Structure 1
Amino acid sequence: MSKPYPPISVFVITLNEAEHLDEVLESVRGVEEIVIIDSGSTDATLEIAKKHGARIVHNDWPGYAKQKAFGIEQCTHNWVLNLDGDEVLPEGGLQMIRERIAEGDINGIWIHHDDIFMGHSLTKARHHKYRRVYRKDRSRMDTSVLVHEHIHVDEPTAYLPIYLKHYGYDSAHGYMDKLNKYSKLKAEQRMEQGRPCSLPRLLVIFPLMFLKFYLGRQMIWSGWRGFIKANIDAFHFFLTEAKLYEMHYRQKHQQDKSKNE
């Protein structure tokens, strides 16, 4: 006799995610609970969520990590699957997750991102792994970070060959807008942590990160799209260093000005 499947809560944090949310929620059809954590959508996000039987909870935006920590708390089941409003679970993905957690020997599951860029997947690139499925009672969200939130999950964990279709990086313009915002948050976080600006790092970060993405992550196999995305990814790291330098530069000159007054 097969083991019963533990119930799963899917939670999604949203702010004007109408473009892809219908496909996202359709990809988890049949799941025991869908929770939408919304911070003030003005498009059709909430109507789409209601159509899929989701429970909607409003929470003013406190930051990425804190919003996801809040989302975990709203889930009524111990096993949770976290999706963003532009991430689609592939066909059969939910069943694979159900079967794996039913074995009862793990606390979390790693799955992949499959980034859509300029309308198509970067199919030959090496994809990031993320812990998007985990037990509430064996995990902790690091709420000290401003961006690129991290969930700590007790071992053992497992990997499944599931590739989330990720629309968030589709256009060069939209991707640059996101990375411009992320780089500011990362620089502010490092400033708060008292981490100094490194001029050697500022000098070498762009070429090193370009090589990491273009060759190490194998974006070279995605033609000119891969070349463009590798440059954008590398520039994100350069921009973070540049903004950190600017913050230190302005702070020093303000301090010098105060001393001279």
Structure 2
Amino acid sequence: MISVVILTKNEEKDLPLCLASLRWSNDVHILDSGSTDRTVEIGIAHYAKIWYNDFESFGKQRNYALDNIHFRYDWILFLDADEIVTDDFLIEMRLAILTANSDVAGFYCCWKMIYENRWLKNCDNFPKWQFRLMRKEHARFKDFGHGQKEDQVIGKIEYLREPYLHYGFSKGWAHWISRHNRYSDEEAFSRINECPPFKNIFSNHSSERNPALKSWLSRLHLWPAIRFAQAYLLNLGFLEGRPGLIYCVNIAYYEFLIQIKMRELKNKRPPKPEEFKMADAMIF
């Protein structure tokens, strides 16, 4: 009924639990991008089909899967190795596709961010929506920042309210910080060069609203501090104890990295013709 794709590179730590939560599917595919650990071996042991493609971006990798993997079913679920399908999520997902009208291209899904066995509901601004469950040949993906969003959608996208589990810190904070340092390069570029229209901030559609909010709010000088206050104080993240504080501090740091890299990109950008005219006017 549902095919599954997992993107991997050196995921031997997280992959076993992810695959264990997918025993209900007989069409699980691992799209690997050059693992040097036991990732592929673990996938084979769990009867997953293995595919290879060099990683360029999340959007391109997911599109490669759509173009090259031979899926058994018409519905495709995209997962990362540090994500786990719960029984409740599976029940709602199956019900959703059984009752979906023919004009439904897919579903936005959300996760529970888990850190130190605690759900960071308040700190992580639950729910965050990503396009993860799609009807075959009814959509593609495009890159935005370090992630991706839906593209070329044929039909409408609905919502699965029941979350799956996301263990984003399973490899430790050193790994998280290193990874988000790379992500901040891509986010800075996108927020400058692919900034959505300001009107999207007021969209009822979170897939349009959230990228616009990130891009425009990043221009505020105190945005990292505001981001911390929003998550830790306004959203009551402090109720989630020390895990909540640690998470909020690091999210603010991530926004700070994006902001200073946006500044670097702007300073390296050649001046526009109108800026030359303004400079001449000031001289004379």
TM range (shorter): 0.7 to 0.9
C-alpha change, 1:124 and 1:185, in structure 2 (3 Å) is closer
The farther-off stretch of 57-66 and 204-213 is: 204-213
**Could you tell me which residue of structure 2 aligns to residue 167 of structure 1?**
167
3-state SS of 1:243 partner = helix
TM-score (structure 1 length as normaliser)? 0.82
1:11 to 5, 18, 26: 5
Instruction: Identify unmatched segments of 5+ residues in structure 1.
Output: 1-6, 254-261
Shift of residue 141, structure 1, vs aligned partner:
0.7
C-alpha change, 1:124 and 1:102, in structure 2 (3 Å) is same
**Could you tell me which residue of structure 2 aligns to residue 257 of structure 1?**
none
Report whether the alignment pairs 1:150 with 2:149: yes
Q: Which amino acid aligns with 1:102?
A: L
Shift of residue 238, structure 1, vs aligned partner:
1.9
C-alpha change, 1:201 and 1:194, in structure 2 (3 Å) is closer
Q: Which amino acid aligns with 2:8?
A: T
Shift of residue 250, structure 1, vs aligned partner:
4.5
1:245-256 maps to which residues of 2 (within 5 A)? 245-250=263-268
Shift of residue 119, structure 1, vs aligned partner:
4.4
The answer to whether the Cα contact below 8 Å between 1:213 and 1:233 also exists between their aligned partners in 2 is no
TM-score (structure 2 length as normaliser)? 0.76
Instruction: Identify unmatched segments of 5+ residues in structure 2.
Output: 197-214, 272-284
Shift of residue 25, structure 1, vs aligned partner:
1.1
The farther-off stretch of 91-100 and 46-55 is: 91-100
Q: Which amino acid aligns with 1:151?
A: E
**Could you tell me which residue of structure 1 aligns to residue 119 of structure 2?**
121
2:48 to 35, 54, 60: 54
**Could you tell me which residue of structure 2 aligns to residue 39 of structure 1?**
33
Identity of aligned residues (%): 27
Shift of residue 120, structure 1, vs aligned partner:
3.0
1:224 to 235, 238, 242: 242
Tell me the matched-pair count.
245
Shift of residue 71, structure 1, vs aligned partner:
1.8
The farther-off stretch of 50-59 and 243-252 is: 243-252
The farther-off stretch of 71-80 and 177-186 is: 71-80
Deviations 1:158-201 (A, max 9, x none): 33333222112344333222221111122234555599x99x93
Shift of residue 47, structure 1, vs aligned partner:
1.0
Shift of residue 116, structure 1, vs aligned partner:
1.8
| CA RMSD across the alignment | 2.8
Q: Distance in 2 between matches of 1:108 and 1:216?
A: 33
Q: Which amino acid aligns with 2:114?
A: I
C-alpha change, 1:104 and 1:164, in structure 2 (3 Å) is closer
The answer to whether the Cα contact below 8 Å between 1:9 and 1:75 also exists between their aligned partners in 2 is no
Deviations 1:25-84 (A, max 9, x none): 111112131111101001111111111211111101121210111122325232100000
C-alpha change, 1:58 and 1:220, in structure 2 (3 Å) is same
The answer to whether the Cα contact below 8 Å between 1:202 and 1:242 also exists between their aligned partners in 2 is no
C-alpha change, 1:194 and 1:89, in structure 2 (3 Å) is closer
1:58-207 maps to which residues of 2 (within 5 A)? 58-73=52-67, 74-76=69-71, 77-105=73-101, 106-123=104-121, 125=123, 126-127=125-126, 128-143=128-143, 145-152=144-151, 153-170=153-170, 171-190=172-191, 201=219, 203-207=221-225
Q: Distance in 2 between matches of 1:212 and 1:129?
A: 19
